[in-house]
Amino acid sequence: MARSPDFLSICCYSEAVTVEVPKYVTGIGLAAAAFTTLSFVPQLIRTWRLRRADELSFAWLAAFTTGIVLWLIYGLLLPSIPVIVANFATLLLTIAILALKFAYRERQ
């Protein structure tokens, strides 16, 4: 009887993940993805509550968003679940912050 794959095995579908690159490395990637992605939640909440985003630089948001899109493309090309999931989620949070920045800018 075939054994059902565990969570990390499902996430390790890239050919780059082999015996030489253990599954725990993907676990570390998923943990890093969770922490870095969730780090945007407090900024989004703060921007929403204060109804202002003037302290956030458009140049920074544009550069960061471009970097996230490139990381997402990289993750899709590998393919790497931790890179894809983290950057897709971070992109959504960053777009929300960018939308608030535009909305609040027009009010001032």
List the CATH number of the domain containing 55. 1.20.1280.290
Classify residue 78: in a domain, yes or no: yes
C-alpha 58/C-alpha 85 separation (Å) is 25
Residue 1 lies in a domain: no
pLDDT, tens digit (0-9, with 9 covering 90-100), for 9-61: 666 555 555 555 677 887 888 888 889 889 889 999 999 999 988 888 889 99
Would you state the pLDDT for residue 90? 94
Residue 2 lies in a domain: no
> What per-residue confidence (pLDDT) applies to 55?
87
Domains identified in the chain, total number: 1
Is residue 91 one of the residues assigned to a domain?
yes
Q: What is the pLDDT of residues 60-103, one digit of tens each?
A: 999 999 999 999 999 999 888 889 999 999 999 999 999 999 99
CA gap 108, 101 in Å, rounded: 11
Does 90 map to a domain? Answer: yes
Structural domain boundaries, residue 34? 7-107
Does the residue 64 lie in any domain? yes
Q: Are 102 and 53 in contact, with CB atoms under 8 Å apart?
A: no
Residue 1 has pLDDT above 60, yes or no: no
Q: 72 in a domain, yes or no?
A: yes
Residue 21 lies inside a defined structural domain of this protein:
yes
- Give the confidence band of 6 by pLDDT, cuts at 50, 70, 90: low
What pLDDT was estimated at residue 2?
56
